[in-house]
Structures are given as structure tokens and as C-alpha cells.
């Protein structure tokens, strides 16, 4: 009888418990189609007594994940602890150094130490698989490593954070504020108590850094991305986007330009008629532009115990089949340095929202600031904000600021920043301008 592929699983949270449930449910079926049956041999977690909804009878227990990773009897170390350093890093290093295949869902670890860990895996001729680290149940990594490999990729992009996509979707559908929907997302478990990593764009940045390396054969460089979050998006922006025929999404985009790789995470307005605009709620998507295949869009669950556990299992199945590939497609020795394109060279159209005192000369001064930087306008819409006349209950507009919404023709980031800096110095501009990039997809 063929020897089973023995797993050592570190971390029995939502994903770890989901993986054990998946193997319990489908282990017999998988054994019928794989060269080796898959067996959970040992686990490590913080608590032995927690009810995880799956039996651990006959499974060896390790209090120390590093000891588990070094154990002679396991074939694959599955790291589901999380964190860019600490026990997760030490355990993965120990497993690779001891000739164990590693499967991980840890995007933070790979974004910071991916190149060094890939080198260690290649030196020991073992796998370092991380399908679950990007977009949960969407087979983004496997697609890039295998099916899309014949193509030269010019751009990879997507909606890479379900928390942000949920917040922006509900803001549009229900006309609510960012703060209100964020509280709801926290109550539902979509957002952490400290949501900065998600709503600040950093989670999406880690995922984009990994996809950038895979797409362009460069070293992982999470610190070379331009990252903005969605905290500044207001109801007014959502409403304006709808009226202009756009939706606002937090996008991660990496593309080749003549001056280097332009990699950025930020809110963007995209056409309501684009396929990606229909990706709503906690759903994620990953898109690839290839020279032979053309554009490809993958849509699915970007998080959750079931989808992420299935992604982990798909990596384990590759090991059972004897498939060992360089972690970042290109062997580490041939990975190119990440040459960052300057964000101020980015070209595109922009949305700008201003609060302007309705006084003579205000719009002329704004137009001059734009014209001085060579920024031409596609459209300008002005709305006067109504305020109640004291004691009458009747609205009036005298002295109230007007909301001015401008959409530019294609221009550079540098020109927009210079124009905004000049506009901010105009006394008749009552608040900091809101600027959102318009993305052609």
C-alpha cells in the first residue's frame, strides 16, 4: 500500500479547522484520485481543549510549532498561524531546512520574507505553496504559475480585500456613511476591532506584492507599492460616482510601464458597465492581461474558512502529485530587482470634489490652477448646499459653500498634485479637495 502524505498542521483557527473538516469529508474520494492518500498526522495550536468541530483522535499534538515543523514523521508542514515574524517564520524556516514541503496562507510572511524562504525551499528541493495567501478560494496563484504561464503579463489587478468591497458596496446600496458600515462589518466579523490593515489598503498591498512578483519575475517588494485606503470615501463621492456612471472600488493594480513597475492600491472609479464593477459584497476578483490569451477575470470568495481551506488543500494535492515548482515561478537566482515606476508619472483621468464658497472669482481661480498645470476638464458640475434660514425653517443658499465636481481628461499624477496644492491655497476653497483616480479596465 502506498504510504500516506502526512501533514503537520500549525494553527487550528477557522482555516485550520476547515482544512481538517475538508480532509475528513473528502479524504476517501481524494485517495482514489491521488498517488498518495492525505493524512493529518500532527497538529499545533494554542489550546488543546477548544471545540473545533472536528475530531483530533489519533492525531499527535505539539505545543511548539517549530518542533512540529522539524518532526521527522511529517512530509508537509501547513502553516496557518499568521504573522510576518515570530513562530510562523521560525516554523516555516525549520520545515524547509529539514526538507519538508510547506503550504501556507500567510501573505504577510511572504510579503516580507518571501524571497529568502523561496531560496531555502529551492535549495532543499521542496515546495513552498501559498495559493490561500491571495484571494482565498480563487485559484489566482495556480492560474499564474500554470495556466497563464505561456503569456507575457502586462497587467495584473483586482479587488483583493473583501472587507473594503463590502463597505463600499453597502455604502452605495444603502446610502450610508463609511463609519456606519464599518461598525456593521466589525459586528458581522468582516472587519477586525482594529480595521486599519484592511481599510488602509495594507492587506491588499501584501497580496498585490506577491502577484507582482509572479507576473513580472521580480523580487517581492511590498515596500515599493503606493498604498491608499478607503477611509476618506464619503457618501457624496459614492453618489457622484453613480451619477457619473462609475462605481468606487479599492483596487490593486500592477502594470509594466517604460519606467518600471507601477504597483498601487487605492480607491478607484470604474465604469458601471465593466465586469469588475459587478463584483460586490465580500467577493474578490483577480484579473490578468496576457499577450496571447487576452484578459482573464477570476471571481470568487476571497476569504472564509471553507474557500481558504480548499485553497490550502489544492496546494497539498500538488505535493501529493509530486509537483514541485519554484515558489515565484522564476527561480530565485533569476528574479529581477523590483524597479519601481514613480507614481507621479501615472497617467489617467481623475475625479475631484471641492467645497467652494459661492463668491465671484472662485471658479475662475480654480480653473486657472488647473490650466496652469495643463489639466483639461471633461465635465464640471456645481451643486449649492442649502442651509436653513435662522428662525424660518426655510432653506437658503446665500454664503453657503457649493460642491463642485470635476472630471479631468487624461493627465499625469504630478499635474493633478500640483493643481490640488494650488487649489488648496485659494481662500474660497472651504475644505481639502477629494481626488479619486478613474481606472480604465
382 and 409 share a domain?
yes
Do residues 10 and 43 make contact, with C-beta atoms less than 8 angstroms apart?
A: yes
Mean pLDDT of 232-240: 96
207 and 266 share a domain?
yes
Q: What percentage of the chain reaches a pLDDT higher than 90? A: 85
Between CA 197 and CA 229 the distance in angstroms is 9
**What's the number of domains the chain is made of?**
3
Query: Could you tell me which of 138, 435, 84 has the C-alpha nearest to residue 266?
Result: 435
Local confidence band at 396 (pLDDT 50, 70, 90 cut-offs): very low
Q: What's this model's pTM, rounded to 2 decimal places?
A: 0.92
Least confident of 109-113, 315-319, 325-329, 379-383: 379-383
pLDDT greater than 50 at residue 389: no
Cell of 323: 509537483
How confident is the model at residue 395, as a pLDDT? Answer: 46
Which of 243, 267, 301 is the last residue before a domain boundary?
Answer: 301
pLDDT greater than 80 at residue 312: yes
215 and 126 share a domain?
no
119 and 265 share a domain?
no
pLDDT tens by residue, 403-435: 999 999 999 999 999 999 999 999 889 889 999
Q: Residues near 38 by Cβ (< 8 Å), separated by ≥ 6?
A: 4, 5, 7, 23, 27, 30, 31, 316, 317, 320
pLDDT tens by residue, 76-105: 999 999 999 999 999 999 999 999 999 999
Catalytic one of 6, 89, 100, 207: 207
Return the ∠ at Cα 123 (arms to 120 and 124), rounded to 5°: 90
Which of 96, 114, 133 is the last residue before a domain boundary?
Answer: 133
Cell of 15: 482555516
How confident is the model at residue 394, as a pLDDT? Answer: 41
Is there a domain that residue 203 lies in?
yes
pLDDT tens by residue, 53-62: 888 889 999 9
151 and 191 share a domain?
yes
Would residue 107 show up in a list of annotated catalytic residues for this protein?
A: no
Residue 152: CATH number of its domain: 3.30.360.10
Return the ∠ at Cα 32 (arms to 28 and 35), rounded to 5°: 115
Crossing angle of helices 202-216 and 107-123, rounded to 10°:
30
pLDDT tens by residue, 174-207: 999 999 999 999 998 888 889 999 999 999 999 9
Between CA 76 and CA 321 the distance in angstroms is 13
Which of 237, 272, 301 is the last residue before a domain boundary?
Answer: 301
Mean pLDDT of 58-67: 95
Cell of 6: 502526512
CB-count burial class (<10 Å; 0-12, 13-18, 19+) for 313: buried
Local confidence band at 162 (pLDDT 50, 70, 90 cut-offs): very high
Local confidence band at 172 (pLDDT 50, 70, 90 cut-offs): very high
Local confidence band at 302 (pLDDT 50, 70, 90 cut-offs): confident
Residue 56 structural domain: 5-133
Local confidence band at 1 (pLDDT 50, 70, 90 cut-offs): low
Amino acid at each position: 500500500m502506498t504510504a500516506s502524505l502526512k501533514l503537520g498542521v500549525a494553527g487550528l483557527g477557522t482555516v485550520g479547522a476547515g482544512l481538517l473538516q475538508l480532509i475528513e469529508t473528502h479524504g476517501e474520494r481524494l485517495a482514489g484520485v491521488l498517488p498518495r492518500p492525505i493524512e493529518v498526522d500532527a497538529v499545533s495550536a494554542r489550546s488543546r481543549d477548544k471545540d473545533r468541530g472536528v475530531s483530533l483522535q489519533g492525531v499527535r499534538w505539539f505545543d511548539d510549532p517549530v518542533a512540529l515543523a522539524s518532526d521527522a514523521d511529517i512530509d508537509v508542514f501547513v502553516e496557518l498561524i499568521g504573522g510576518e515574524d515570530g513562530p510562523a517564520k521560525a516554523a516555516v524556516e525549520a520545515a524547509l531546512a529539514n526538507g519538508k514541503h510547506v503550504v501556507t496562507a500567510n501573505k504577510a510572511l511572504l510579503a516580507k520574507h518571501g524571497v529568502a524562504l523561496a531560496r531555502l525551499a529551492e535549495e532543499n528541493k521542496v515546495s513552498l505553496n501559498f495559493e490561500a495567501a491571495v484571494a482565498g478560494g480563487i485559484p489566482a496563484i495556480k492560474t499564474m504559475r500554470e495556466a497563464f504561464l505561456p503569456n507575457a503579463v502586462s497587467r495584473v489587478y483586482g479587488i483583493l480585500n473583501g472587507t473594503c468591497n463590502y463597505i463600499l458596496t453597502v455604502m452605495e446600496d444603502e446610502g450610508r456613511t463609511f463609519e456606519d458600515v464599518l461598525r456593521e462589518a466589525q459586528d458581522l466579523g468582516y472587519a477586525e476591532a482594529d480595521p486599519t490593515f484592511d481599510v488602509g489598503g495594507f492587506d491588499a498591498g501584501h497580496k498585490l506584492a506577491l502577484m507582482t512578483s509572479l507576473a513580472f519575475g521580480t523580487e517581492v517588494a511590498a515596500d515599493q507599492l503606493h498604498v491608499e485606503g478607503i477611509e476618506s470615501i464619503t457618501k457624496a463621492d459614492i453618489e457622484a460616482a453613480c451619477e457619473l456612471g462609475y462605481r468606487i472600488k479599492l483596487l490593486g493594480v500592477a502594470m509594466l510601464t517604460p519606467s518600471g513597475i507601477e504597483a498601487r492600491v487605492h480607491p478607484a472609479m470604474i465604469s458601471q458597465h465593466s465586469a469588475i464593477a459587478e463584483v460586490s459584497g465580500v467577493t474578490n476578483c483577480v484579473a490578468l492581461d496576457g499577450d496571447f490569451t487576452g484578459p482573464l477575470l477570476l471571481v470568487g470568495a476571497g476569504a472564509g474558512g471553507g474557500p481558504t481551506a480548499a485553497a490550502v488543500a489544492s496546494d497539498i494535492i500538488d505535493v501529493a502529485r509530486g509537483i514541485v515548482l519554484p515558489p515565484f515561478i522564476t527561480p530565485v537566482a533569476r528574479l529581477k530587482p523590483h524597479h519601481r515606476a514613480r507614481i507621479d508619472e501615472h497617467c489617467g483621468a481623475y475625479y475631484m470634489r471641492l467645497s467652494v464658497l459661492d463668491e465671484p472669482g472662485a471658479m475662475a481661480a480654480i480653473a486657472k490652477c488647473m490650466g496652469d498645470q495643463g489639466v483639461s476638464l471633461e465635465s464640471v458640475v456645481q451643486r449649492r448646499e442649502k442651509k436653513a434660514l435662522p428662525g424660518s425653517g426655510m432653506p437658503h443658499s446665500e454664503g453657503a459653500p457649493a460642491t463642485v465636481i470635476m472630471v479631468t481628461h487624461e493627465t499625469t499624477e504630478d499635474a493633478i498634485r500640483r493643481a490640488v496644492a494650488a487649489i488648496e491655497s485659494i481662500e474660497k476653497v472651504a475644505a481639502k479637495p477629494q481626488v479619486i483616480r478613474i481606472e480604465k479596465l
